[in-house]
Amino acid sequence: MNTKRWLAFLSLWLLCLVLGCFAVRSAGIASPSHDALSVLEAQAREAFVQKDYARVMDSYAQYEQQMIEAGYARIQPDLLYNQAVVYYHLGKYGQALARLRQHSLVEPTAQVQDMIQQLSLLVELEAYKTSPNTAFVRGLDNDYVLWEWTHRYTQRRVHMMLILSWSLFFLTALVLFFFRHRRTWRWMMITTTFAAGAMLAFMGYFAYQHYRTAGNTYGVLLSPEALRLEPRHMAPEPGDLAFLEGMTLKRISRSDGWSLVERGDGGRAWVPDHAFYVLLGKDRAQGEVSSR
């Protein structure tokens, strides 16, 4: 009887914990005017058909501002996708890749990944036409892969998954303790506890990588022509700095509007802030941390 009471208590405790983790406080968000957004969308579509891309981007900027003022996340995946398409038609591949990379961070899809690969190949082809003897590097460092993987989730989500994993492991271990004398239950609970322990270990590793890379800053190079060996120096000769437009780089330091950036192979250069699009993880993309 005591065993049944313990199990009932533990089950109720776990249920309350799960419900508590998934509970989200309702925040008062003022909805932007639907009519105003519809007008902006219509203006953008009309301008796109007319190939008036400057007016398209102006409509998108107004749309984004209204969404921000209404309290929505600063990064809107649909808007990023539309901006990327417009920048592609303008021939600004770095800007297009930057939006697609940011889209992939907050809402990864197979379509966006395919577009990133195809556009990256197009940039490489264009670069080889102008600098056939330059060895370009496109590889991403391992830290960026981990950063992109872990920062697709907010800190709140990581905490929730870690707590749930620990609770599941704790509950299965207790049940195993109570039924250790029953052979059938014992082996079933040993297997379940082992699986819960493996999940807990994985979530511990995931949370560790999330916090270890939290201080890293990555971005996309918008214009290789803006690169310098030192801030405000003369532009390097073509081919001296083998950086591609749209390349994802790590920011090492920042000084007076300039960023020291690093490629996956360790090559470094300075770039002005206006030519470096900083990528935001899920926390900062939703406005929980200060913007770029």
pLDDT of 172 higher than 60: yes
Q: How confident is the model over 91-111, as pLDDT tens digits?
A: 899 999 999 999 998 888 999
Q: How confident is the model over 71-90, as pLDDT tens digits?
A: 666 678 888 998 999 999 99
What is the structure's pLDDT at 63? 82
Question: Could you tell me which of 267, 210, 264, 218 has the C-alpha nearest to residue 98?
Answer: 218
pLDDT of 32 higher than 50: yes
Lowest mean pLDDT among 20-34, 40-54, 107-121, 212-226: 20-34
What is the structure's pLDDT at 183? 67
Q: How confident is the model over 200-252, as pLDDT tens digits?
A: 899 989 999 888 888 899 999 998 888 888 876 666 544 455 788 888 999 99
250: β partners: 218, 262
What is the structure's pLDDT at 3? 57
Q: According to CATH, what is the number of the domain 73-150+214-285?
A: 2.30.30.40
Tokens of 25: 């406080």
